[in-house]
Amino acid sequence: MKNKYFLFIVVFCAALPMYAEVVLPKIFSDNMVLQRNSLIPVWGWADPDEIIQVKFNNQTKSVKADKTGKWVIRLDPENAGGPYDLIIIGKNVAEIKNVLVGEVWLCSGQSNMEWTVGLSMNAKKEIGEANNPFIRHIKIAKDVNSLPNNDFKGSSWQVCDSTTVANFSGVGYFFAKNLYDELKIPVGLINSSWGGTNIETWISREGFESSDEFKEMIAYMPKMNLDSLSKIKVRSSEMRIEALQGTKFKDINTKLFKELSFDDSKWPALNQPQLWEQQSIGELDGVVWLRKTIVLSASDFNKEARVELGKIDDEDITYVNGVKVGGTNRWDSKRIYTIPAGILKAGGNVIAVRIVDNGGGGGIYGDTADMKLFVGETVIKLSGDWKFHVESIKKVTNENSLPSLCYNAMINPLIPYAFQGVLWYQGESNSGRSYQYRKAFPLLINDWRQKWNNLNMPFYFVQLATFNTSGNSNEGCGWAELREAQTMTLSIPNTGMCVTTDIGIPWDIHPTNKQDVGKRLAAIALNNIYNKKMICSGPIYKSMEIKDDQVILSFDDIGTGLFTPDKYGYIKGFEIAGKDSVFHYAKAFIKGKTIVLFSEKVENPVAVHFGWVGDASDCNLFNREGFPAVPFRTDEWKTVTKDEKYKIEKFKL
């Protein structure tokens, strides 16, 4: 009887209405910073029609939740100051403590924005000296979704001191440090960045739908949850690859793929070096085997040997005649492996490479000259056709595999949080389709401005640093074309660009000098927004005049004058070409407010390049305020990425 009575109570209670507590998005936490001199949105969720009261400083405002339980209150603008408590009262009370009001900036992009203070130059010194409670930072947790999220995964605001600053964005922190030194008001950094991400993952579906360049692409993207979408995507890819290879995935046995004796005659072929997304494999993240047979004479096979494969995206294990000779897990490293004596033989020899592509481009890429087999004094070219077989397709949808995934999970939940502007450092992952970045980057800026209903929102970005990429001034260079696309984006109002060709590291895609990057971004903001008038950019190409065999260049933004640190006055980084479109290094010198160029190899110059290469560290033209000149070209002859487009595979629903 007692058990029956207890069961009745449980059932009765379960039938009662369940009143939800007031819930705030995770961007609202202790130690947060709110934007000064602007309406301050505060929002969250409660029961439908519940009355919500918000108290902050001397303000008290109320609102009724809508039929779905969503509510938004916009507090009146506040001056910089604090700390205050933010109190939200509904059926329960939520209290956010130690809140400051000041300048808030959204920091986004890929790894060079995510790169921390702890990994930056002079990290130990910077960390030891970091004790500024007026600088705050929140790192948005990495996440993806195919549909917009209302909130993000757990994160909280951190107060800057020597125990926390090591994990702050380096670029963001040094920007904030310079801002605080000038303004003496609180600075908050919202760090929503993810290493290796392409720009397309940060743009909303609505943004793509508004673009003539991308609306056809986004139409292929079904509106469904990520799990369902991933399953359909993987099965669609599997069906396509099975048809291409003539083999079901369940029938694949990879144990013999590395062996010399394995028969790969029925395998299809790929051209290497070239990313497989641009070939018959198409859009695919997963594991792919490549095989190439090399015939050696009896006089060659017993000599010292090594194999060079260039760069492989992302990871490889390389075998020669079934024996592992090396493996690397960095997409930007050249593969150079020694082949031990006794492995090669007279006649046919097989190089087999197992490649793991975790996202984005996949396969061997770069210069054909980097793919060689050295056997004694004999050099054998390895570029050209390689047999391939897809071992498996990655079943987890990653941040780059579909459009809008990071936007949905890491940007949309921030709307409508108020901030002053955006700091953006991204582009490395888009250098393979740089020409299209001319459309993609302005689209992202306008998309975010639309989402925040702030069409003049400041947007300051970092141009790609020096890096030793493939390509050169005559062959064409995707890295240089990406910089050009970034420069062209300056035509959008309220944008600014930080040039970093002088502070990069040619052999490292992650230069550790984030101090100067932050300082240069801060100079743009201080000049444009905070009425601290100063020179904030370097010389930018204006016009060209040709006199006989000389070229005379004029520039804007020369500050108090053009300058080179070279003690002999030699200016490097310039090239000129005649009508044959072949560029030659030019001799250059400063003449007043102009640069004069000439080359003995070009009698009738018609075009100029400056820093038109990935590794632009030779460039040494500045203004006297220390800002480097912007790389540029005066022609439009060769664009190696013009036909490369962002695509997604059509889903077979």
Supply the pLDDT for residue 12.
36
**Closest to 371 in 3D by CA, of 292, 308, 305:** 308
Q: What H or E segment, with its residue span, contains residue 450?
A: helix 434-451
Instruction: Give the pLDDT score at 17.
Output: 37
Q: Work out whether strand 421-425 and strand 93-109 pair parallel, antiparallel, or are unpaired.
A: parallel
For 341-395, how does the pLDDT look when each residue is reduced to its tens digit (9 = 90+)?
889 999 999 999 999 998 777 899 888 899 999 998 889 999 999 999 999 998 8
Q: Rounded to whole angstroms, how far apart are CA atoms 337 and 334?
A: 10
pLDDT value for 462: 98
Over residues 80-97, the pLDDT tens digits come to: 999 999 999 999 999 999
The answer to whether 473 touches 575, Cβ cutoff 8 Å, is: yes
Residues of the chain with pLDDT below 70 are: 1-20, 652-653
Q: What is the dihedral of CA 43, 45, 51, 53, to 10 degrees?
A: -40
Distance in angstroms between the alpha carbons of the first and the last residue of the chain: 55
- 115 contacts: CB under 8 Å, gap ≥ 6: 169, 170, 171, 510, 512, 514
Domain ranges of the chain: 251-393, 540-629
Phi then psi for residue 567, to 5 deg, are -70, -20
| CATH (residue range 251-393) | 2.60.120.260
pLDDT for the residue 14: 38
Q: What is the pTM of this model?
A: 0.89
